[in-house]
Amino acid sequence: MQIASAEKIVLWDVQTNEPMKSTVDGTVAEFNKAGGEMEVVHIQNDPYKTKLKVAMGAGTPPDIFQNWGGGPLKEYVDAEMVDSIDEIKEDLLKTYIPAAFDPATFDGVTYGAPYSGLTGVYFWYRKDIFEQNGVKPPKTWTEFLQVCETLKKAGIAPIALANKNKWTGSFFYMYMADRVGGADMFTKALYRKDGVTFEDPGFVKAGEMLQDLVKKGYFVEGFNGMDEDLRNAAALLETGKAGMYLMGTWYLGGAHSNAPEVADQIDFFPFPAVEDGKGDPTNLIGSPGQDYLSISTTCKDKEAALKYLKEFIMNESWIQALVKNGLVPPVKNGADLISDPVLKKVAESFQAAGHVQVYYDQFLPPAMGEKHKDLVQALFGLTMTPEEVAKAHEAAMQEELKK
pLDDT at residue 99, as a whole number = 82
pLDDT at residue 65, as a whole number = 98
Burial of 278: CB neighbours in 10 Å, binned 0-12, 13-18, 19+ = middle
**Distances, alpha carbon 172 to alpha carbons 29, 50, 71, 123, 237, in Å:** 40, 24, 20, 10, 17
What are phi and psi for residue 357, nearest 5 degrees? -95, 120
Contacts of 214 (CB under 8 A, 6+ apart): 379, 380, 382
pLDDT at residue 3, as a whole number = 67
pLDDT at residue 45, as a whole number = 86
**Cβ 164 vs Cβ 225: under 8 Å:** yes
* Cis, peptide link before residue 341, omega less than 30° from 0: no
**Distances, alpha carbon 334 to alpha carbons 6, 15, 81, 346, 361, in Å:** 35, 21, 32, 12, 27
pTM of the model: 0.84
pLDDT at residue 112, as a whole number = 97
Q: Is the dihedral of CA 335, 339, 343, 344 positive or negative?
A: positive
Give CA–CA dist 278/122, Å, rounded.
19
Q: Which residues of 128-138 are buried (b: 16+ CB within 10 A; e: fewer)?
A: ebbeeeebebb
Closest by CA to 332, choosing from 347, 321, 353, is 347
State the pairing for strand pair 242-248/157-160.
Answer: parallel
**Cβ 115 vs Cβ 315: under 8 Å:** no
**Distances, alpha carbon 264 to alpha carbons 4, 238, 252, 259, 267, in Å:** 46, 11, 10, 10, 8
Mapped onto helix, strand or coil, the DSSP state of residue 216 is: coil
pLDDT at residue 339, as a whole number = 87
Closest by CA to 173, choosing from 351, 384, 327, is 384
Mapped onto helix, strand or coil, the DSSP state of residue 220 is: coil
Tell the CATH topology of 119-285+358-402.
Answer: D-Maltodextrin-Binding Protein; domain 2 (3.40.190)
Sorted by where each begins, the domain ranges of the chain are 9-116+289-332, 119-285+358-402
Residue 56: alpha-carbon gap to chain centroid:
22
Q: Consecutive sets of 10 residues in the chain, 403 residues long: mean pLDDT of each?
A: 73 90 93 95 92 96 95 93 97 90 92 92 98 98 99 98 97 99 94 96 98 98 94 97 97 91 97 97 90 97 95 88 84 84 90 89 91 98 98 97 87
What are phi and psi for residue 125, nearest 5 degrees? -150, 165
pLDDT at residue 360, as a whole number = 95
CATH 3.40.190.10 assigned to domain 9-116+289-332? The reply is yes
Closest by CA to 283, choosing from 194, 174, 393, 166, is 174
pLDDT at residue 324, as a whole number = 81
State the pairing for strand pair 113-114/356-357.
Answer: unpaired
**Fold match between 9-116+289-332 and 119-285+358-402?**
yes
